[in-house]
Amino acid sequence: MEILQKDDGKKGSFYVEQDNVKLAEMTYVWAGTDRIIIDHTEVKDALKGQGVGKQMVVKAVEFARAKGISIVPLCPFAKSVFKKVKELNDVL
């Protein structure tokens, strides 16, 4: 399953799409030039329980590491992933 990203410089998202329908999406907004704030994560029933939400958080971490930026997880789901997976905390 491929996790895609879109970013317009002010906000963006990581998402899974099939037949032009978004089945999962994690949205973020830019806070300055060196930080993103994850504000919402949603996974449709068809993908629930498959770890897609966590995969999107991991993708966001990879993006942050590549850009040298930090993440503020305001979304309760993203916050819980960071709490459980300490290896991701270097971008907080």
Residue 65's CATH number: 3.40.630.30
CA angle 67, 3, 9 (to 5 degrees): 40
Q: What is the pLDDT of residues 46-85, one digit of tens each?
A: 999 999 999 999 999 999 999 999 999 999 999 999 999 9
Q: What is the pLDDT of residues 10-57, one digit of tens each?
A: 999 999 999 999 999 999 999 999 999 999 999 999 999 999 999 999
- What phi and psi values does residue 62 have, to the nearest 5 degrees? -60, -40
Domain with 25 in it: 4-91
pLDDT at residue number 27: 99
Domain count within the chain? 1
Measured distance CA(18)–CA(32) in Å, rounded: 32
Q: How confident is the model at residue 1 (pLDDT cuts 50, 70, 90)?
A: confident
pTM, 2 dp: 0.95
- Output the average pLDDT for the chain: 98
